[in-house]
Amino acid sequence: MKNKVTVIGAGNVGATCAQYLAMMNLADVVLMDIVEGMPQGKALDLTEAGLPLGFDGRVTGTNDYADTAGSDILVMTAGLARKPGMSREDLLHKNAEIVGACMTEALKHSPDAMILMVTNPIDVMTYHAFKLSSHPSAKVFGQAGILDRSRFAAFLAMELKVSVREIAAMVMGGHGDSMVPLPRYTTVCGVPVTELIPRARIDEIVERTRKGGGEIVKLLKTGSAYYAPAAATAIMVESVLKDARRLLPCSVYLTGQYGIDGIYIGCPAVLGAGGVEEILELDLTDEELSALQNSAKIYKTNIDLLGH
């Protein structure tokens, strides 16, 4: 029986994620949105791309959660996008309402589905969905670190004028200005990037990575990034459905790791058929650990604002 993935929210991120999932032949995809006709139109357009792109999975658009029944994974992308001058925290309460309403309806029809959160602020919304679902924490996780890692790798590839495929980058912490890129654990074909780029220049690239989403928001004027976020999300779905057990930086629930307990934050984790199957504890310097714990404090404050 073919896997089924529902993408909730047929905006730029959701529709592009559905496209990538279809192209990867991972599952039948349902594109769910409250706007009448919009998910149906995008799904039909995607279906008609099957021949030239070489995929044969079903892509269905709907406004009815009943059509999402039996999903293996619920990918939550619905929510307000950031506008220039708006922080991720500005989105907190409105997107919490949207996530709550969507998750409540979707879980009625797919009570055992894993939840992959993409809606911002990701770490807080992932915790919110976890509390709403009553799932074990391993079945609820957020996409952020893979996107941040991809941005870091892209900037390093530009700097070094090498293929981005040779770069293995690692980041931790929250998705935003408090993220913790880890140059010590970032390599170019096995060579630590700290041996290839002066520290001062690495610091500038790290800062650009932290503000990578805001840079795109500023350039677009309306809306925010979607190609890279959608691709990062599809990679997570693939690791779960194929039981690939890839080690990926994701928003995961910590229970004492890194001295952090009871919140979601970005850490390297093994994603497989069981969801988050292992959380890796890296040997961090005092400075890196302090930055990660400070990032966690920011999200704990936001969680408290939601009343959890």
Provide the β-strand partners of residue 272: 275
Helical (H) or strand (E) element with 157: helix 145-160
Contact 91, 82 (CB under 8 A): yes
269, two tokens: 């984790």
Contact 236, 273 (CB under 8 A): no
Distance, CA of 241 to CA of 246 (rounded, Å): 11
What length does the chain have?
308
Residues 6+ apart with CB under 8 A from 255: 137, 261, 262
Q: What type of residue is 222?
A: T
Q: How far is CA 129 from the centre of its chain?
A: 14
Catalytic option among 128, 135, 175, 308: 175
Q: What type of residue is 189?
A: C
Helical (H) or strand (E) element with 249: strand 246-255
Q: What type of residue is 186?
A: T
Q: Catalytic: 175?
A: yes
The catalytic site residues sit at 175
